[in-house]
Amino acid sequence: MTDFLGSHILSVKQFDRDAVERIFEVAHRMAPYAQRQKRTKVLDGAILGNLFFEPSTRTRVSFGCAFNLLGGQVRGTTGMQMSALAKGESLYDTGRMISSYSDVIAMRHPESGSVAEFATGSRVPVINGGDGANEHPTQALLDLFTIQKELAVYDRSIDGMHIAMVGDLKYGRTVHSLSKLLCLYRDLKVTLVAPDELSMPKEIVDLLTDHHAQIEIKNKIDGQIGADIVYQTRIQEERFPTQEEADRYRGQFRLNHEIFSTHFKSNTVIMHPLPRDSRSEANELDNDLNEHPNLAIFRQADNGVLIRMALFAMTLGVENKVADYEYDVPWYSQK
Ligand code: NCD
């Protein structure tokens, strides 16, 4: 059984199915606070060190908001150049120092394994907000939570579902973490759509196969894909050796209204970890799907706050005390 109290969250590999279900149960209980129906001071006085050494909007801000919604304070830094890492400080030393100012730390860094290295110096729990092309565990949890909620509308569950992952499956850490989590579920069909050069790493395909997922590999969106979920991704241009190489794949995996209607089902749920690249030459998820009821991308991002609140509450041991510190919301809220 996974113990959350005081633990780092570095990889989805540390979770079993029971742990995932416990996180989801706590996340559901966070909804009234995220929706501003109630407030809680359960983490009053606690400090989150929110360290983002790579670009981020959603993940960084939602980690911060999640902590604020539990009553805690946030201290953060962004960008390598503005931190002492630019002066040659080791990740270990940075971890050691920041942990003395914080009760918990969220961190993103461009190198695989960097967050785990940082955590060796930390005296408080460290949550991986994305380490290079390696992992993004909180994103995978919010993706899976979204899948569960969206499929429940059609009386379906994660067991037995068919998911299609599309785009840059080589450098996309979200699909790496999500695939590992999917190994906890039964009777899955996984369609991987990517150019050969950007295909899913072999060890992850092997892992899915070892867990009896039925794998289908395609190098473009063609034929009747069907699928309960289509998970579109951005070409991770910042991880390519050269920009020219990244540009080669731009616009190749476009999902628009017409392509969606041709290759997917009328109830296929459309997901994307965001940000989507909306520049005309990329446009992997077209604006003409913005009003489509199956487009779950903003619900998916909203779920990130619930998952991150749950993880903070569980690593700090207050998941059953949130309501004890509850108080009213005096302002008019449209949430
Ligand atoms: C993703 C990431 O940073 O890995 N974004 C996110 O955290 N929601 C996906 C991406 O940048 O394409």
Are both 235 and 159 inside the same structural domain?
Answer: yes
Q: Tell me which residue of 247, 255, 178, 196 sits closest to 221, measured CA to CA.
A: 255
Are 23 and 127 part of one and the same domain? yes
Residue 181 domain-assigned (yes or no): yes
Residue 2 lies in a domain: no
Residue 29 Cβ contacting ligand 1 at under 6 Å: no
Q: Are residues 144 and 129 in the same domain?
A: no
* Residue 56 belongs to some domain of the structure: yes
Cα–Cα distance list, 169 to 130, 174, 280 (Å): 15, 9, 21
Identify any residues that bridge with 190 across adjacent strands, giving them in sequence order: 163, 215
Residue of the CA atom closest to atom 1 of ligand 1 = 273
Closest CA to 268 of 302, 238, 300, 227: 227
* Spacing, Cα 75 to ligand 1 middle (Å): 22
Domain co-membership, 169 together with 127: no
Confirm or reject: Cβ of 174 under 6 Å from ligand 1. yes
What count of Cα atoms within 13 Å lies in the side-chain half-sphere of residue 2? 20
Q: Are residues 16 and 55 in the same domain?
A: yes
pLDDT value for 82:
78
Instruction: Give how many domains the chain has, as a whole number.
Output: 2
Q: Verify that 203 and 68 share a domain, yes or no.
A: no
> Is 108 within 8 Å of 130 (Cβ atoms)?
yes
- Enclosing domain of residue 90: 12-135+303-328
Q: Are residues 161 and 280 in the same domain?
A: yes
Segments in the chain below pLDDT 50: none
Same domain (yes/no): 271, 207: yes
Q: Do residues 162 and 293 share a domain? A: yes
Predicted local distance difference test score (pLDDT) of residue 1: 59
This prediction has a pTM of: 0.97
pLDDT of residue 161: 98
Q: Is residue 183 part of a domain?
A: yes
User: Residue 4: inside a domain, yes or no?
Assistant: no
**244 and 320 together in one domain:** no
How far is CA 162 from each of CA 52, 74, 152, 157, 299, rounded to the nearest angstrom? 34, 39, 14, 10, 20
Ligand 1 atom nearest residue 129's Cα: 7
Respond yes or no on whether the N-terminal peptide bond of residue 32 is cis (omega within 30° of 0). Answer: no
Helix H, strand E, coil C: the string for the chain is CCCCCCCCECCHHHCCHHHHHHHHHHHHHHHHHHCCCCEECCCCCCEEEEEECCCCCHHHHHHHHHHHHCCCEEEEEECHHHCHHHHCCCHHHHHHHHHHHCCEEEEEECCCCHHHHHHHHCCCCEEEEEECCCECHHHHHHHHHHHHHHHHCCCCCCCCCEEEEECCCCCCHHHHHHHHHHCCCCCCEEEEECCHHHCCCHHHHHHHHHCCCEEEEECCCCCCCECCEEEECCCCHHHCCCHHHHHCCCCCCCECHHHHHHHECCCCEEECCCCCCCCCCCCCECHHHCCCCCECHHHHHHHHHHHHHHHHHHHCCCCCCHHHHEECCCCCCCC
Pair (101, 141) in one structural domain: no
Look-up: residue for tokens 């790579």? 54
Q: Are residues 149 and 232 in the same domain?
A: yes
In CATH, what number is assigned to the domain containing residue 159? 3.40.50.1370
Q: What are phi and psi of 116, to 5 degrees?
A: -65, -40
Does the beta carbon of 234 sit less than 6 angstroms from any atom of ligand 1? yes
User: Does 106 map to a domain?
Assistant: yes
Among 59, 109, 142, 231, the mutation site with the greatest number of ligand 1 atoms within 8 A of its Cβ is 59
d(CA 129, CA 316): 17
Q: Is the CB of 130 under 6 A from ligand 1?
A: yes
